[in-house]
Amino acid sequence: MKKSFLKSHLCYLLLSSLILLLTLPIAFVSQPAFGSALNRTPVILDDDGSQDGMTAWVYILQNPKFEVKAMTISQGLAHPRIFGNNLMRMLARLGITGIPVAVGRETPLSGNNAFSDAFRADTDTFWTPFTNLPDQALETVDRRSAAQLLVDTINKSPKPVEILMTGSATNIAEALTLDPRITKKISRLQIMGGAVFIPGNLREHLDPILKQNQVSEFNIWTDPVAAQKVFSAGLPIYLTPLDATNQIGFTRADQAAWKATGTPESILASQFLNYALTKISGNDPLIPNPAWDLVAAINLSEPSFCPEIPLHIEVNTNGKPKVNQRQTVAIPNQPPNINVCLNPSLANLPFTSQELFSDKAKP
């Protein structure tokens, strides 16, 4: 009986060990976080403190394809110093630490183009009461300038870096001046800006002279010298202009779905969209909001979203303010310097706009 017991016990141990060994590879494969962390693309986020820019940022922050290495605030819609402190509180709300944030200069590289104060007021308050932030941040703004943080982050990265630029080109242009060699370590510069073959949006400016300009777009107009410097630097640029963003609209159904997704990022994105639909689209259910910068972020994440067309784009740094100053112009019969998205489509994606922050949109 003793031998029989030992034999049975030995068989049991062997069988148990075999089952354990067979399950080990499956258990290892079922841990995607480690493997995906090795393959995540390093990305830097640069924006001028816009509501749609922050929507784009939270989309990238929760996107497992990317590892956000730094954030920089450029002059434009926001006052960088004010917005930098509010951004730190936004990160605290999301429970995110360890990403350096730096602010850029308060003025463009050249000229004095600026948004109307009326446009900047809601940005200064971080769109209160549509959004709410904790009283205290978990970290402080980096002491380096935005340009210096860009240079340091790019040079430190063991892999080429992608950049999502959804405001003025001021910070990127200054970084190129500090260290022109960084062009070799930037694998993609995704820009939201310009209007190539359609009217611009400067006509929405409150200045009676500037609003006569029917062709220029705000992000490029704010610092055209910086934009031209970036466009001519030999970078791999992918442009998402108004031609593309005007074809995509987000609605109250999207806002409700993002809120229902229930993640910190999706809830905050729903609040940004609520602001946009209420204040920008006039609370008209028939007028969706383009969320311009979010479209550029989707373009960065999803290669199938929009076919790219190579064009040669220049910025008109002269011209008359009320005619064509700061226009992005496609020059025919010239070597292409920018890949341009003209016809994006959500139908090209395996998920819907309402699922943008859900697991269905994550690889």
> How confident is the prediction for the chain on average, in pLDDT?
89
Predicted pLDDT of residue 309: 97
Quickly state the pLDDT bin for 177 (edges 50, 70, 90). Answer: very high
Q: What is the mean pLDDT of residues 52-71?
A: 98
3-state secondary structure of 8: helix
Predicted confidence (pLDDT) per residue in 3-32, tens digit: 443 344 434 433 444 333 334 333 333 333
Question: How does DSSP assign 105-139, residue by residue?
Answer: -SS-SSS-----HHHHHHHHTTTTTTS---SS-SS
Predicted confidence (pLDDT) per residue in 198-251, tens digit: 999 988 888 877 888 888 899 999 999 999 999 999 999 999 999 999 999 999
Kindly report the length of the chain: 363
CA–chain centroid gap for 270, Å, is 16
Q: Which residues contact 133 (CB under 8 A, 6 or more apart)?
A: 86, 89, 90, 92, 93, 126
Predicted pLDDT of residue 317: 86
- Token pair recorded at residue 239: 């442009």
Cβ of 24: how many Cβ atoms within 10 Å?
Answer: 10
Tell me which of 253 and 2 has the higher pLDDT: 253
Predicted confidence (pLDDT) per residue in 85-107, tens digit: 999 999 999 999 999 999 999 99
Q: By C-alpha distance, which of 158, 162, 169, 165 is closest to 187? A: 162
DSSP β-bridge partners for residue 161: 186
Predicted confidence (pLDDT) per residue in 277-300, tens digit: 999 999 998 899 999 999 999 999
DSSP state of 90: H
- Token pair recorded at residue 211: 């609003």
**237, 337 in Cβ contact below 8 A?**
yes
d(CA 234, CA 244): 23
Locus of tokens 């490029």: 220
Quickly state the pLDDT bin for 349 (edges 50, 70, 90). Answer: very high
Predicted confidence (pLDDT) per residue in 109-134, tens digit: 988 889 988 889 999 999 999 999 99
Predicted pLDDT of residue 3: 40
Q: What is the mean pLDDT of residues 311-322?
A: 84
